[in-house]
Structure 1
């Protein structure tokens, strides 16, 4: 009996993943096929390609695990952000495509600044920190992470990017809620980036996030703002006047991230940026010169 073509196998995988409740079933099926063939995630082999028995078995196993709602990035063992591909796996948050917008906003803050100083809080795999260093070789970048598993990935990814010629970053084993963190940088930082945990502990999520991602990277107190409050306080201490803060977040119950920043005299020009469907994605703010609050703005 002839072996099925790759196109046939992808079609079958798409149906299986769709039945499992995965919205991007076709794209996931294609990326898993490329991975089974040892190709980069977004490679597109010819649809009439015939897989060997070993490749077909590997593909079937990958599709089965994805149908169990294991995150795609954990199966591909990699994710790409800002032109940098980082290793990811169980125990570390997989960078989302939406974070490209967060990165772009941070790079906008750095435009026109020479030799900028950047701090990335809750860095996880260090994807954002490494993407900044990749885009701005003149930048000095510090990345902070608490979770030991994520730290291992961050350090491995940092060493890999350095081996490729990117400017090295400094990875700190530290808790963003610790008093006096990075005190030696106080008042000198041009940009603070953060993708902290922001989900209330009682909220139910898709299995990819609620079950298979590390809880430290997802949940943050009863209102989702426990870590973000510390991020805001730390950013106020670290940033130089007119330095920028970019913090990724979701919809918060009760007080929102923009409200939190707008009522803090250390920040002005607070602006929330949304997904296409109107949900909040991230908020930006500037460190004020004298600590006086400025008018709050909102950008879709």
Structure 2
């Protein structure tokens, strides 16, 4: 997750979006909806308007663009679309409105109570996938702690199909979403409702890759984006006074679960790399290294179990 912080802003005034008139050109409907979203401060108003319209019309975004280019009319439920635009203008997450979030090659079911996976976490998953693929075992073992929607674990299972993937989640609402995604995408992966510190004692010393996107926002910080501040579950955001309480737990659990030479992968805020490297090195981990994302922000740290 990539979360900026600043003093909380007041809730935006939500412009009124009237339902599109029958047979109004789709292009005009999209333009009007994007204007409403832009005036509410939505960061990507054009994209969001298109995705909401595609959701209502049952089309892909490409198919929607084709209809608009042909001058086609908006043929969906106008009242439903207007309501979705109003809700997005109030900064309810787009993924909650459509019920899904893309992650790598996956489409994950998400909604209230689960952290919406972010594009930057795809790089964290790639680090774990690369480490898992490098293991010579016929069935290497990977663990994702605090799986949320299941994004990282399901990426590991589907992209390294010979691996045995185990995932843990200890928040009830998030576990419900993860259970749905696991059943639909990779029922062979193991999902457990368990506290992270007590996860998978049957795997002690046998795991090749341990990965996590833990809560790492300091308790006193306020997420800037309303979608984060008001909709992401606090248990997925806040990690103690310095944001590293769960990272300390991951260090302890990793030393228990991973086999010698096994890889630990942790997502974190761009300002936390040095502190996490120091924490892991002091705990005995080897080769702690922080990795930049595609925008060159330091977003993940890896280390090897001694």
Task: Name the counterpart of 2:208.
Answer: 190
Judged with a 3 Å threshold, the aligned counterparts in structure 2 of structure 1 residues 49 and 258 are, in CA distance, closer, same or farther, namely: farther
TM-score w.r.t. length of structure 2 = 0.85
Structure 1 residue 35 and structure 2 residue 55: aligned? yes
Q: Is the 8 A contact 2:271 2:298 kept in 1?
A: no
Q: Distance in 2 between matches of 1:143 and 1:70?
A: 28
Q: Distance in 2 between matches of 1:42 and 1:152?
A: 31
Task: Name the counterpart of 1:109.
Answer: 131
What SS does the aligned partner of 1:272 have? strand
* One of 223, 245, 264 as aligned partner of 2:242: 223
- Consecutive unaligned residues in structure 2, runs of 5 or more: 1-20
* One of 155, 163, 172 as aligned partner of 1:139: 163
Give the drift of 1:252.
5.0
Give the drift of 1:3.
3.1
Q: Is the 8 A contact 1:195 1:247 kept in 2?
A: yes
Structure 1: 4+ residue segments shifted above 6 A = none
Judged with a 3 Å threshold, the aligned counterparts in structure 2 of structure 1 residues 250 and 42 are, in CA distance, closer, same or farther, namely: farther
Judged with a 3 Å threshold, the aligned counterparts in structure 2 of structure 1 residues 243 and 156 are, in CA distance, closer, same or farther, namely: same
Structure 1 residue 204 and structure 2 residue 222: aligned? yes
What SS does the aligned partner of 1:44 have? helix
Q: What aligned pairs does 1:11-90 form with structure 2 within 5 A after superposition?
A: 11-40=31-60, 44-45=64-65, 46-47=67-68, 48-52=71-75, 55-90=77-112
Q: Distance in 2 between matches of 1:285 and 1:197?
A: 19
Query: Structure 1, residues 95-140: CA drift from partner, whole Å, max 9, x if none?
Result: 1111111111111101232311010000011121111111111111
Q: Is the 8 A contact 1:186 1:239 kept in 2?
A: yes
Judged with a 3 Å threshold, the aligned counterparts in structure 2 of structure 1 residues 117 and 2 are, in CA distance, closer, same or farther, namely: closer
Q: Alpha carbon RMSD of aligned pairs, Å?
A: 2.0
TM-score w.r.t. length of structure 1 = 0.87
Q: Distance in 1 between matches of 2:59 and 2:39?
A: 26
- Consecutive unaligned residues in structure 1, runs of 5 or more: 289-300
Instruction: Compare relative contact order (CA 8 Å, sep 6+) and give the higher one, 1 or 2.
Output: 2
* One of 258, 261, 280 as aligned partner of 1:261: 280
User: How many residues are matched?
Assistant: 280
Give the drift of 1:276.
4.8
Q: What aligned pairs does 1:170-189 form with structure 2 within 5 A after superposition?
A: 170-176=190-196, 178=197, 180-189=198-207
Q: Which moved more, 1:137-146 or 1:108-117?
A: 108-117
Judged with a 3 Å threshold, the aligned counterparts in structure 2 of structure 1 residues 125 and 253 are, in CA distance, closer, same or farther, namely: closer
Query: Structure 1, residues 207-265: CA drift from partner, whole Å, max 9, x if none?
Result: 11111111111111111111111012111211111211111111457972222223221
